[in-house]
Amino acid sequence: MLNWQYESFIYAPHGNTPLMKSYAQLPTPWQKNKDTFRFYFSSRDPSGQSRPFFLDYSMSEQEVLKVNEKPVLELGEAGCFDDSGIMPSSIIQKDGRLYLYYIGWNQRKNISYQLSIGLAISDDGGDTFTKYSAGPILDRNVHDPIFCAAPCVHYNGSEFVMWYISCTGWPNVGEQLEPVYLVKRATSIDGISWETTSDICIPYKFDGEAIGRPWVTCFSAEYHMLYSSRGSKAYRQCNGEHYSIGYASSPDGIVWSRKDAQVHFKGSELPWDKEMQEYTAIFEYENDLYIAYNGNTFGKTGFGIAKLEKDTAL
Protein backbone atom coordinates (compact mmCIF):
# COMPACT_ATOMS: atom_id res chain seq x y z
CA MET A 1 0.00 0.00 0.00
CA LEU A 2 1.30 3.45 -0.95
CA ASN A 3 0.13 5.77 1.81
CA TRP A 4 0.35 9.47 0.96
CA GLN A 5 -0.08 11.88 3.85
CA TYR A 6 -1.26 15.44 3.27
CA GLU A 7 1.49 17.96 4.02
CA SER A 8 0.33 21.48 3.14
CA PHE A 9 -1.75 23.67 0.88
CA ILE A 10 0.45 25.85 -1.31
CA TYR A 11 -1.45 28.25 -3.54
CA ALA A 12 -4.58 29.44 -5.30
CA PRO A 13 -4.84 32.78 -7.15
CA HIS A 14 -6.53 35.63 -5.31
CA GLY A 15 -8.08 37.02 -8.49
CA ASN A 16 -6.29 40.37 -8.34
CA THR A 17 -4.00 39.81 -11.34
CA PRO A 18 -5.60 40.28 -14.78
CA LEU A 19 -4.18 37.16 -16.40
CA MET A 20 -4.20 35.10 -13.18
CA LYS A 21 -7.83 35.32 -12.12
CA SER A 22 -8.52 31.70 -11.18
CA TYR A 23 -7.15 28.16 -11.14
CA ALA A 24 -3.64 26.86 -10.43
CA GLN A 25 -3.63 23.73 -12.57
CA LEU A 26 -1.04 21.04 -13.27
CA PRO A 27 1.61 21.95 -10.66
CA THR A 28 4.95 21.03 -12.26
CA PRO A 29 7.92 20.93 -9.83
CA TRP A 30 11.54 21.80 -10.48
CA GLN A 31 14.14 21.91 -7.70
CA LYS A 32 15.73 25.35 -7.83
CA ASN A 33 18.16 24.79 -4.95
CA LYS A 34 18.55 22.52 -1.93
CA ASP A 35 15.49 23.88 -0.13
CA THR A 36 13.46 25.69 -2.78
CA PHE A 37 11.16 24.17 -5.35
CA ARG A 38 9.72 26.12 -8.22
CA PHE A 39 6.22 25.07 -9.22
CA TYR A 40 5.02 25.99 -12.68
CA PHE A 41 1.24 25.99 -13.00
CA SER A 42 -1.52 27.22 -15.27
CA SER A 43 -3.92 30.00 -14.36
CA ARG A 44 -6.90 31.39 -16.27
CA ASP A 45 -7.81 34.90 -17.35
CA PRO A 46 -11.41 36.22 -17.20
CA SER A 47 -12.21 34.59 -20.57
CA GLY A 48 -11.00 31.18 -19.36
CA GLN A 49 -7.78 31.06 -21.36
CA SER A 50 -4.82 29.47 -19.57
CA ARG A 51 -1.22 30.67 -19.31
CA PRO A 52 1.74 29.28 -17.32
CA PHE A 53 3.09 31.04 -14.22
CA PHE A 54 5.38 29.96 -11.39
CA LEU A 55 6.00 30.33 -7.69
CA ASP A 56 8.98 29.49 -5.46
CA TYR A 57 8.31 27.48 -2.33
CA SER A 58 10.50 26.74 0.70
CA MET A 59 10.07 23.11 1.71
CA SER A 60 11.68 23.60 5.13
CA GLU A 61 9.59 26.65 6.02
CA GLN A 62 6.47 25.50 4.15
CA GLU A 63 6.19 29.02 2.80
CA VAL A 64 5.66 30.59 -0.62
CA LEU A 65 8.67 32.84 -1.24
CA LYS A 66 7.65 34.42 -4.52
CA VAL A 67 4.77 34.36 -6.97
CA ASN A 68 5.67 35.38 -10.49
CA GLU A 69 2.58 37.17 -11.80
CA LYS A 70 3.84 37.48 -15.36
CA PRO A 71 3.22 34.44 -17.58
CA VAL A 72 6.35 32.65 -18.75
CA LEU A 73 4.71 31.99 -22.14
CA GLU A 74 2.07 33.88 -24.09
CA LEU A 75 -0.67 32.41 -26.23
CA GLY A 76 0.17 31.57 -29.83
CA GLU A 77 -0.94 33.59 -32.81
CA ALA A 78 -4.45 32.96 -34.12
CA GLY A 79 -4.60 29.54 -35.73
CA CYS A 80 -1.58 28.14 -33.89
CA PHE A 81 -1.90 25.04 -31.74
CA ASP A 82 -1.67 27.06 -28.50
CA ASP A 83 -3.78 30.10 -29.35
CA SER A 84 -6.48 29.28 -26.76
CA GLY A 85 -4.44 28.08 -23.78
CA ILE A 86 -1.09 26.83 -22.46
CA MET A 87 -0.50 24.48 -19.54
CA PRO A 88 2.89 23.31 -18.20
CA SER A 89 3.28 19.57 -17.94
CA SER A 90 6.93 18.46 -17.55
CA ILE A 91 10.32 20.09 -17.09
CA ILE A 92 13.81 18.62 -17.40
CA GLN A 93 17.32 20.06 -17.23
CA LYS A 94 19.93 19.25 -19.87
CA ASP A 95 23.22 20.96 -20.66
CA GLY A 96 22.39 23.91 -18.44
CA ARG A 97 19.06 24.56 -20.16
CA LEU A 98 15.53 23.88 -18.96
CA TYR A 99 13.12 22.16 -21.34
CA LEU A 100 9.49 22.88 -20.54
CA TYR A 101 7.04 20.55 -22.28
CA TYR A 102 3.57 22.01 -22.33
CA ILE A 103 0.00 21.46 -23.54
CA GLY A 104 -1.37 23.76 -26.22
CA TRP A 105 -5.12 24.31 -26.55
CA ASN A 106 -7.23 25.03 -29.62
CA GLN A 107 -10.96 25.59 -29.69
CA ARG A 108 -12.99 23.45 -32.08
CA LYS A 109 -16.48 23.63 -33.54
CA ASN A 110 -17.70 20.04 -33.52
CA ILE A 111 -15.91 19.13 -30.27
CA SER A 112 -14.85 21.35 -27.38
CA TYR A 113 -11.09 21.48 -27.92
CA GLN A 114 -7.95 20.10 -29.57
CA LEU A 115 -4.73 19.46 -27.61
CA SER A 116 -1.11 19.21 -28.75
CA ILE A 117 2.33 19.19 -27.13
CA GLY A 118 4.78 22.08 -27.37
CA LEU A 119 8.30 22.83 -26.13
CA ALA A 120 9.81 25.98 -24.62
CA ILE A 121 13.43 26.44 -23.50
CA SER A 122 14.97 28.57 -20.74
CA ASP A 123 18.58 29.75 -20.60
CA ASP A 124 18.21 31.83 -17.42
CA GLY A 125 17.32 29.23 -14.80
CA GLY A 126 13.62 29.04 -15.51
CA ASP A 127 12.71 32.72 -15.15
CA THR A 128 11.84 33.14 -18.83
CA PHE A 129 11.19 30.72 -21.67
CA THR A 130 11.23 30.90 -25.45
CA LYS A 131 9.04 28.64 -27.54
CA TYR A 132 11.04 26.25 -29.66
CA SER A 133 8.59 26.70 -32.51
CA ALA A 134 5.20 28.14 -33.38
CA GLY A 135 4.00 24.60 -34.09
CA PRO A 136 3.74 21.57 -31.79
CA ILE A 137 6.49 18.98 -31.37
CA LEU A 138 3.88 16.23 -31.03
CA ASP A 139 0.42 16.44 -32.54
CA ARG A 140 -2.21 13.93 -33.65
CA ASN A 141 -0.65 11.39 -36.00
CA VAL A 142 -1.16 7.92 -37.46
CA HIS A 143 -0.96 6.36 -33.98
CA ASP A 144 -2.78 9.15 -32.10
CA PRO A 145 -5.59 10.27 -34.40
CA ILE A 146 -7.44 12.70 -32.11
CA PHE A 147 -5.05 14.49 -29.73
CA CYS A 148 -1.87 14.19 -27.65
CA ALA A 149 -1.32 15.94 -24.31
CA ALA A 150 0.05 15.90 -20.74
CA PRO A 151 3.63 14.76 -21.45
CA CYS A 152 6.00 13.49 -18.76
CA VAL A 153 9.53 13.51 -20.20
CA HIS A 154 12.71 11.78 -19.00
CA TYR A 155 16.24 11.93 -20.41
CA ASN A 156 18.45 8.91 -19.70
CA GLY A 157 21.69 10.26 -21.14
CA SER A 158 21.17 9.02 -24.67
CA GLU A 159 17.43 9.09 -25.32
CA PHE A 160 14.37 11.12 -24.39
CA VAL A 161 11.30 9.16 -23.32
CA MET A 162 7.81 10.65 -23.08
CA TRP A 163 4.70 9.22 -21.47
CA TYR A 164 1.63 11.11 -22.62
CA ILE A 165 -2.13 10.83 -23.00
CA SER A 166 -3.67 9.91 -26.33
CA CYS A 167 -7.35 10.60 -26.97
CA THR A 168 -9.19 7.70 -28.58
CA GLY A 169 -12.63 9.24 -28.97
CA TRP A 170 -15.37 11.65 -27.96
CA PRO A 171 -18.30 9.39 -27.05
CA ASN A 172 -21.73 10.89 -26.51
CA VAL A 173 -22.52 10.91 -22.79
CA GLY A 174 -25.88 12.33 -21.75
CA GLU A 175 -26.19 14.25 -25.03
CA GLN A 176 -22.72 15.74 -24.61
CA LEU A 177 -19.47 14.66 -26.25
CA GLU A 178 -16.82 13.81 -23.65
CA PRO A 179 -13.19 12.86 -24.42
CA VAL A 180 -11.63 9.58 -23.31
CA TYR A 181 -7.86 9.08 -23.28
CA LEU A 182 -5.23 6.56 -22.22
CA VAL A 183 -1.44 6.55 -21.70
CA LYS A 184 1.13 5.88 -24.40
CA ARG A 185 4.89 6.25 -24.83
CA ALA A 186 7.14 8.00 -27.37
CA THR A 187 10.92 8.26 -27.81
CA SER A 188 13.29 10.86 -29.23
CA ILE A 189 16.99 11.39 -29.77
CA ASP A 190 16.88 15.18 -29.46
CA GLY A 191 13.72 15.79 -27.40
CA ILE A 192 12.10 17.52 -30.38
CA SER A 193 11.30 14.92 -33.05
CA TRP A 194 9.32 12.05 -31.53
CA GLU A 195 8.63 8.49 -32.63
CA THR A 196 5.23 7.12 -31.64
CA THR A 197 3.80 3.60 -31.85
CA SER A 198 0.44 1.90 -31.48
CA ASP A 199 1.52 0.36 -28.15
CA ILE A 200 -0.50 1.30 -25.06
CA CYS A 201 1.07 1.70 -21.60
CA ILE A 202 -2.07 2.11 -19.48
CA PRO A 203 -5.25 0.78 -21.15
CA TYR A 204 -8.81 1.44 -20.08
CA LYS A 205 -10.38 -0.50 -17.21
CA PHE A 206 -13.97 0.35 -18.10
CA ASP A 207 -16.02 2.04 -20.80
CA GLY A 208 -15.88 5.80 -20.55
CA GLU A 209 -12.64 5.93 -18.56
CA ALA A 210 -10.18 8.78 -19.13
CA ILE A 211 -6.62 8.45 -17.78
CA GLY A 212 -5.00 11.84 -17.30
CA ARG A 213 -1.59 13.35 -16.56
CA PRO A 214 0.83 10.43 -16.19
CA TRP A 215 3.88 11.16 -14.02
CA VAL A 216 6.73 8.66 -14.00
CA THR A 217 9.60 8.25 -11.56
CA CYS A 218 12.33 5.63 -11.26
CA PHE A 219 12.89 4.18 -7.80
CA SER A 220 14.13 0.85 -6.39
CA ALA A 221 15.16 -0.35 -9.87
CA GLU A 222 11.61 0.01 -11.16
CA TYR A 223 9.42 2.54 -12.94
CA HIS A 224 6.41 3.94 -11.10
CA MET A 225 3.56 5.99 -12.54
CA LEU A 226 0.82 8.01 -10.90
CA TYR A 227 -2.06 9.24 -13.03
CA SER A 228 -5.63 10.51 -12.71
CA SER A 229 -8.57 8.31 -13.63
CA ARG A 230 -12.18 9.36 -14.12
CA GLY A 231 -15.36 8.14 -15.71
CA SER A 232 -17.43 10.09 -18.20
CA LYS A 233 -20.68 10.43 -16.25
CA ALA A 234 -21.10 13.68 -14.31
CA TYR A 235 -17.35 13.78 -13.65
CA ARG A 236 -17.43 17.54 -13.10
CA GLN A 237 -19.66 17.01 -10.07
CA CYS A 238 -18.56 15.93 -6.59
CA ASN A 239 -20.91 12.94 -6.61
CA GLY A 240 -20.09 11.93 -10.20
CA GLU A 241 -17.32 9.83 -11.69
CA HIS A 242 -14.69 12.44 -10.83
CA TYR A 243 -10.92 12.03 -10.87
CA SER A 244 -9.02 9.85 -8.40
CA ILE A 245 -5.35 8.90 -8.27
CA GLY A 246 -4.20 5.66 -9.91
CA TYR A 247 -0.88 3.81 -9.86
CA ALA A 248 1.07 1.44 -12.10
CA SER A 249 4.56 -0.07 -12.05
CA SER A 250 6.89 -1.37 -14.74
CA PRO A 251 10.31 -3.06 -14.97
CA ASP A 252 11.22 -1.17 -18.15
CA GLY A 253 8.85 1.77 -18.56
CA ILE A 254 7.20 0.04 -21.53
CA VAL A 255 5.02 -2.75 -20.14
CA TRP A 256 2.98 -1.63 -17.14
CA SER A 257 0.81 -3.28 -14.47
CA ARG A 258 -2.08 -1.27 -13.03
CA LYS A 259 -2.25 -1.40 -9.24
CA ASP A 260 -4.76 1.32 -8.44
CA ALA A 261 -5.85 -0.34 -5.21
CA GLN A 262 -2.35 0.14 -3.77
CA VAL A 263 -2.74 3.94 -3.63
CA HIS A 264 -4.20 5.36 -0.43
CA PHE A 265 -4.71 9.12 -0.22
CA LYS A 266 -7.67 10.99 1.22
CA GLY A 267 -6.30 14.45 0.61
CA SER A 268 -6.41 17.06 3.34
CA GLU A 269 -10.16 16.56 3.88
CA LEU A 270 -10.38 20.36 3.88
CA PRO A 271 -12.84 22.13 1.58
CA TRP A 272 -10.30 22.79 -1.20
CA ASP A 273 -9.62 19.11 -2.01
CA LYS A 274 -12.38 17.23 -0.24
CA GLU A 275 -14.19 16.32 -3.44
CA MET A 276 -11.32 15.56 -5.80
CA GLN A 277 -7.55 14.97 -6.01
CA GLU A 278 -5.83 14.76 -9.38
CA TYR A 279 -2.97 15.83 -11.71
CA THR A 280 -0.18 14.53 -9.46
CA ALA A 281 3.53 15.24 -9.99
CA ILE A 282 6.13 13.31 -7.99
CA PHE A 283 9.28 14.98 -6.64
CA GLU A 284 12.00 14.12 -4.11
CA TYR A 285 13.21 16.24 -1.21
CA GLU A 286 15.72 15.11 1.43
CA ASN A 287 15.26 11.43 0.50
CA ASP A 288 11.48 11.60 0.84
CA LEU A 289 8.97 11.40 -1.99
CA TYR A 290 6.23 14.00 -2.37
CA ILE A 291 3.41 14.73 -4.76
CA ALA A 292 2.07 18.07 -5.85
CA TYR A 293 -1.60 17.76 -6.77
CA ASN A 294 -4.75 19.67 -7.59
CA GLY A 295 -7.98 19.63 -5.62
CA ASN A 296 -11.61 20.32 -6.46
CA THR A 297 -12.79 21.39 -9.92
CA PHE A 298 -9.58 20.44 -11.73
CA GLY A 299 -7.42 23.00 -9.93
CA LYS A 300 -9.85 25.87 -9.43
CA THR A 301 -9.17 25.66 -5.69
CA GLY A 302 -5.39 25.51 -6.16
CA PHE A 303 -2.76 22.91 -5.32
CA GLY A 304 -0.98 21.37 -2.35
CA ILE A 305 1.57 18.69 -1.55
CA ALA A 306 1.55 15.32 0.20
CA LYS A 307 4.34 13.05 1.41
CA LEU A 308 4.82 9.29 1.07
CA GLU A 309 4.76 7.75 4.54
CA LYS A 310 7.96 6.12 5.75
CA ASP A 311 6.40 2.71 6.29
CA THR A 312 5.48 2.49 2.62
CA ALA A 313 7.78 2.60 -0.38
CA LEU A 314 7.56 2.58 -4.14
Cα–Cα distance, 304 to 64 (Å, whole number): 11
Which of 146, 145, 32, 155 has its CA nearest to residue 90? 155
Cα–Cα distance, 50 to 104 (Å, whole number): 9
Considering the chain, what is the average pLDDT of its residues? 96
Q: Compute the residue count for the chain.
A: 314
305: buried, middle or exposed (CB in 10 Å: 19+, 13-18, 0-12)? buried
Q: What secondary structure does DSSP assign to the chain, as a single string?
A: -EEEEEEEEEE---S-BTTB-EEEEEEEEEE-SSSEEEEEEEEE-TTS-EEEEEEEEETTTTEEEEEE-S-SSPPPPTTSTTSSEEEEEEEEEETTEEEEEEEEEEE-SSSSEEEEEEEEEESSSSS--EES-SS-SB---SS-SSEEEEEEEEE-SS-EEEEEEEEEE--EETTEE--EEEEEEEEESSSSS-EE-S--SB--SSTT-EEEEEEEEEETTEEEEEEEEE-SSSTTSTTSS--EEEEEEESSSSS-EE-GGGEE-----STTTSS--EEEEEEEETTEEEEEEE-HHHHTT-EEEEEE-TT---
**Cα torsion angle, 161, 129, 81, 227, sign:** positive
User: CB-based contacts of 207: which residues, under 8 Å, 6+ apart?
Assistant: none
Domain ranges of the chain: 2-25+40-54+67-308
Cα–Cα distance, 258 to 225 (Å, whole number): 9
Read off the pLDDT of residues 125-164 as tens digits, 9 standing for 90 and up: 999 999 999 999 999 999 999 999 999 999 999 999 999 9
Contact 8, 260 (CB under 8 A): no
How much is the pTM? 0.97
In tens digits, what is the pLDDT along the chain, a chain of 314 residues? 789 999 999 999 999 999 999 999 999 999 999 999 999 999 999 999 999 999 999 999 999 999 999 999 999 999 999 999 999 999 999 999 999 999 999 999 999 999 999 999 999 999 999 999 999 999 999 999 999 999 999 999 999 999 999 999 999 998 899 999 999 999 999 999 999 999 999 999 999 999 999 999 998 889 999 999 999 998 888 788 889 999 999 999 999 999 999 999 989 989 999 999 999 999 999 999 999 999 999 999 999 999 999 766 55
**49 residue type, one letter:** Q
Architecture of 2-25+40-54+67-308 per CATH? 5 Propeller (2.115)
Phi, then psi, of 205 in degrees rounded to 5: -95, -25
For residue 197, what pLDDT is reported? 97
CA distances to 39, 93, 164, 180 from 204, in Å: 30, 32, 14, 9
